[in-house]
Chains A and B, each alone.
Chain A
Amino acid sequence: DIQMTQSPSSLSASVGDRVTITCRASQGISNYLAWFQQKPGKAPKSLIYAASSLQSGVPSKFSGSGSGTDFTLTISSLQPEDFATYYCQQYNSYPPTFGGGTKVEIK
C-alpha cells in the first residue's frame, strides 16, 4: 500500500497568513492526488484534484502543486472560514490512502 505522510500534523496561524501543507507519498503517484477540507462535525469537501486543479466553486486562494511523491497545498491568505483539518489522498492505485491530516488552528 502507498503511505501518505502529511506535515505538519497541526499548525497555528493568523488571519491573513500564507499557509503551506505538505504531503509525501511512499512511491510515485504521478498527479493522482486530491486535497480535502473538513470542519468539525461535517463531511469532507473536495478542494483540489489531480494535484493542482481546483474543484468547481473552490476559491482561488487554495492552490496545489507537485507530482510524483511530493505535493503541497497552499492557502494564500488564511480567513476565519479556513480553520479546519486538511487531508490529502492518493488515488493512483488501490487501496486509495489518506494522509493523517493537518489541523489548522487560530493563533
Chain B
Amino acid sequence: EVQLVESGGGLVKPGGSLRLSCAASGFTFSSYSMNWVRQAPGKGLEWVSSISSSSSYIYYADSVKGRFTISRDNAKNSLYLQMNSLRAEDTAVYYCARVDPYKGPSFWGQGTLVTVSS
C-alpha cells in the first residue's frame, strides 16, 4: 500500500525556519517525481515545488523561490522541504504527493500544518 507521511510542521515566528519531511513506503520511491502542495486555511490548493526522481530537475513556485529548498534522499525513501524566511502567508497545510508519469499527483500524504505567527 502506498503511504506518504509528512512531519515537521508546527508554530514558527516570522523569519524563522522549518524543515518538513515526507516518509514514503509501499512503492519504489526512487522511480517517482514528488511534489509539495500547500493549502492555506479555508483556501484552495497551491503547488509549491517539484523534484524529479534523481533530483536532476527542481522547480519552485515564484512565491517560495529563494526561500524554500526541496530535496530527497532515495536511500531513506524521504522527501524534504527546507523553509527559510517564513512569512505569515506561508501558513498552510503542506502535502507531499507522488507524481505518476502522465497522471499528475496521484497519491497524497495526510499533510502537516505550518503556522507562521508571532
Contact = CB atoms under 8 A, between A and B. Distances in A.
Interface of A: 32, 34, 36, 38, 42-46, 49-50, 53, 55, 87, 89, 91, 94-101
Given A32-B104, A49-B103, A89 B45 contact: yes
B26 to A, nearest CB: 14
10 nearest A-B pairs in the assembled complex, by CB-CB distance: A49-B103, A34-B104, A43-B108, A91-B104, A98-B45, A101-B44, A46-B106, A96-B47, A94-B59, A100-B44
Given A94-B59, A95-B59, A44 B102 contact: no
Q: Is the interface of B mostly helix, strand, loop or mixed?
A: strand
30 contacts: A32-B102, A32-B104, A34-B103, A43-B95, A43-B108, A43-B109, A43-B111, A44-B37, A44-B45, A45-B108, A46-B104, A46-B106, A49-B100, A49-B102, A49-B103, A49-B104, A50-B102, A55-B103, A89-B47, A89-B105, A91-B104, A94-B50, A95-B47, A95-B62, A96-B47, A97-B47, A98-B45, A98-B47, A99-B44, A100-B44
Interface string B42-61: 00111100100000000101
B57 to A, nearest CB: 9
B27 interface: no
A87 B102 contact: no
B100 to A, nearest CB: 7
Contacts of B105: 34, 46, 89, 91
